[in-house]
Amino acid sequence: MKCFEIEKLNLHYGDFHALKNICMNIEKENITSFIGPSGCGKSSLLKTLNRMNDIAEGCRISGDVKLFGEDVYGDMDVNMLRKRVGMVFQKPNPFPMSVYDNIAFGPRTHGIKSKYELDKIVEKALQDAAIWNELKDRLKKSALGLSGGQQQRLCIARAMAVSPEILLMDEPTSALDPISTGKIEELLLHLKEAYSIIIVTHNMQQAARISDKTAFFLFGQVIEYSETESMFTMPRDKRTEDYITGRFG
């Protein structure tokens, strides 16, 4: 089953044509990774999926993006879209407030006020992000005091607290050390049972380790999109091969 259907998607930042005629379907309950050199458009595509590009100045989009058949750029309420399609950023961005308030921010935004319910959501989200044991005694402490890896897992927990259907991750481990990266990868493999995950990464080993399908981007185009295993063992396109063998990028 597909969660996203993308058709003839074009994206411009001012005069710059960042995404060229993208057509792809993304599978549900799967990890899909986007790889490619810097500036190839992989993050831009990720951000069109939850309309974070709306914030970017001078950004124009044409074409179709459908979330379970519903047009993302149509009548859909953008805040509801972002509730359904969560996002984790490259740099951990916990809010300057307590761990608890960070997690509770999303549910509160969507109208949950009862302390009992919020407590439950906070505990569940932290448990799902495998960080409950580390943080259960520090719920009232500022989230800014956590380590980088903990902050990023907190951000994942925060994204999950609004029970999204899909998680978008924009190079979530590029600012972290290898141990924290390992923990997050482990977490993602666990989360894909329940969520569809799309991850942008610069790290090809990471894509090979965790993702089911991989898309290779170059100059705003999808060069190759297939099962991760086949892409890394038998790339069909010469450019993909050059990239994954480290000849450029």
Partner 1 sequence: MTSIKEKVMSRVFLLSALSTVLALALICLFLFINGIPAMAKIGAFSFMLGKEWSPSDTPPLFGILPMIAGSLYVTAGAIIIGVPIGILTAVFLSKSCPKKLYKFIKPGMDLLAGIPSVVLGFFGMAVIVPVFGESILSASIVLGIMILPTVTGISESAIRAVPQNYYEGAVALGAGHYRAVFKVILPAANSGVLAAVILGVGRAIGETMAVIMIAGNQARMPVSLFKGVRTLTANIALEMGYAAELHREALIATALVLFVFILVINLGFAALKKRIK
Binding piece for partner 1, criterion CB under 8 A, among 6-14, 156-164, 205-213, 216-224: 156-164
Examine residue 183 and tell whether it contacts partner 1 (CB under 8 A).
Answer: no
Cα separation of 84 and 235, whole Å?
33
Least distance between partner 1 and beta carbon 71 (Å): 18
Among 110, 120, 136, 190, binds partner 1 (CB under 8 A): 110
User: Toward partner 1, which CB reaches closer, 107 or 220?
Assistant: 107
Nearest to 1, CA basis, from 114, 166, 130: 166
Least distance between partner 1 and beta carbon 104 (Å): 11
Q: Print the binding letters for residues 85-104 with partner 1: x by CB under 8 A, - otherwise.
A: -xx-x-x-xxxxx-------
User: Toward partner 1, which CB reaches closer, 188 or 218?
Assistant: 188
User: Toward partner 1, which CB reaches closer, 79 or 233?
Assistant: 79
Q: Print the binding letters for residues 22-61 with partner 1: x by CB under 8 A, - otherwise.
A: ----------------------------x-x--x------
Least distance between partner 1 and beta carbon 61 (Å): 17
Among 48, 49, 139, 158, binds partner 1 (CB under 8 A): 158
Binding piece for partner 1, criterion CB under 8 A, among 64-72, 84-92, 184-192, 228-236: 84-92
Binding piece for partner 1, criterion CB under 8 A, among 2-10, 105-113, 120-128, 206-214: 105-113
Residue 25 burial (10 A CB sphere; 0-12, 13-18, 19+)? middle
Q: Where does this chain bind partner 1 (CB under 8 A)?
A: 50, 52, 55, 79-83, 86-87, 89, 91, 93-97, 105-106, 109-110, 155, 158-159, 162
